[in-house]
């Protein structure tokens, strides 16, 4: 015997059953409101600030000690002038990067003037003025009443070859690293001449002998009238490099 079940009864059996809870059940919590923009800003400000980015290999600020254009000379009056370019003198090898024009130096509250303009490199000026203040001026005080008053020399910088010989090596004068002294004037009126007093057994002669000895301890090249025929009238001083290690000294 075959039983026939109505379709409506089967549909009822497979439909999902929804149960409505009675009023005694706890209600669901209300959804939280979205945070306001002010609240978000407050939360952002509470976060730690990001670390600053470090600069790689920061360069030190330029100072008088590190800037090659700044020249510092003790007890010396001078004027820094623009760089000298050799091209303007017809020889690109000439020139001074940091030239100065010397006016006077002071020692023991006494000032020594330079007769005429003396233009040299800052590097040479440091050696030259130190020698004058620490060696020459004390020696002059020892030999002459009142000491030294004036130094007469060549201009220092000259764009030329050694001994003014065409085709020769570049002179240290062309780099502002040399000076030629011809006379030294004392406060008591005595004039010491390199050409006339060199080698004599006189007070000026003994002074020049002591001056020459002190110069050989300061400069890499010292050429007196005994050196050669090109230096009969003056004392040549420079700080040029001699030898592969620049340690060879010339004292004549």
Instruction: List residues bridging with 185 in a β-sheet.
Output: 150, 191
Q: Are 159 and 86 in contact (CB under 8 A)?
A: yes
Q: Residue 29's pLDDT is what?
A: 52
The C-alpha atoms of residue 170 and residue 100 are separated, in whole angstroms, by: 20
Q: Are 176 and 99 in contact (CB under 8 A)?
A: yes
Q: Residue 30's pLDDT is what?
A: 55
Q: Residue 69's pLDDT is what?
A: 62
Q: Which residue has the tokens 């050694």?
A: 162
Q: What is the pTM of this model?
A: 0.71
Domain boundaries, the chain: 76-251
List pLDDT tens digits, range 93-152: 999 999 999 999 999 999 999 998 899 999 999 999 999 999 999 999 999 999 999 999
Q: Residue 27's pLDDT is what?
A: 52
**What's the per-residue H, E or C state across the chain?**
CCCCCCHHHHHHHHCCCCCCCCCCCCCCCCCCCCCCHHHHHHHHHCCCCCCCCCCCCCCCCCCCCCCCCCCCCCCEEEEECCCEEHHHHCCCCCEECCEEEEEEEEECCEEEEEEEEEEEEHHHHHHHHHHHHHHHHHHHHHHCCCCEEEEEECCECCCCEHHHCCCCCECHHHHCCEEEEEEEEECCCCEEEHHHHCCCCCHHHHHHHHHHHHHCCCCCEEECCCCCHHHCCCEEEECCCCCCCCCCCEEC
Q: Are 99 and 121 in contact (CB under 8 A)?
A: yes
Contacts of 50 (CB under 8 A, 6+ apart): none
Q: 119 burial class (0-12, 13-18, 19+ CB within 10 angstroms)?
A: buried
Higher-confidence position of 53 and 124: 124
List pLDDT tens digits, range 209-241: 999 999 999 999 999 998 777 889 999 999 998
How far from 47 is each of 42, 125, 155, 250, CA to CA, in Å?
A: 9, 60, 70, 72
Among residues 119, 126, 185, 122, which one has the least CA distance to residue 155? Answer: 119
Q: Are 237 and 178 in contact (CB under 8 A)?
A: yes
Please check the confidence at residue 57 and state whether its pLDDT lies above 50: no
The structural architecture, per CATH, of the domain 76-251 is 2-Layer Sandwich (3.30)
Among residues 157, 181, 182, which one has the least CA distance to residue 171? Answer: 157
């Amino acid at each position: 015997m075959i039983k026939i079940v109505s379709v409506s009864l089967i549909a009822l059996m497979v439909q999902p059953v929804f149960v409505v809870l009675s009023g005694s059940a706890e209600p669901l919590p209300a959804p939280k409101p979205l945070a306001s923009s002010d609240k978000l800003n407050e939360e952002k400000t509470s976060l730690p600030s990001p670390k600053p980015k470090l600069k790689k290999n920061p360069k030190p600020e330029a100072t008088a000690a590190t800037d090659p254009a700044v020249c510092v000379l003790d007890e010396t009056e001078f004027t820094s002038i623009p760089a000298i370019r050799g091209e303007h003198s017809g020889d690109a090898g000439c020139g001074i990067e940091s030239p100065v024009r010397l006016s006077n130096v002071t020692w023991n509250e006494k000032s020594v003037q330079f007769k005429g303009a003396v233009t040299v490199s800052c590097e040479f000026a440091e050696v030259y003025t130190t020698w004058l203040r620490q060696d020459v001026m004390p020696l002059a005080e020892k030999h002459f009443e009142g000491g030294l008053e004036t130094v007469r020399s060549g201009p220092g910088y000259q764009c030329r070859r050694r001994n003014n010989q065409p085709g020769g090596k570049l002179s240290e004068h062309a780099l502002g690293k040399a000076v030629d002294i011809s006379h030294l004037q004392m406060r008591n009126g005595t004039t010491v001449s390199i050409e006339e007093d060199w080698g004599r057994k006189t007070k000026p002669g003994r002074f020049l002998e002591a001056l020459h000895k002190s110069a050989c301890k300061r400069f890499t090249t010292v050429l007196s009238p005994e050196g050669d025929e090109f230096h009969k009238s003056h004392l040549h001083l420079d700080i040029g490099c001699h030898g592969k290690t620049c340690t060879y000294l010339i004292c004549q």
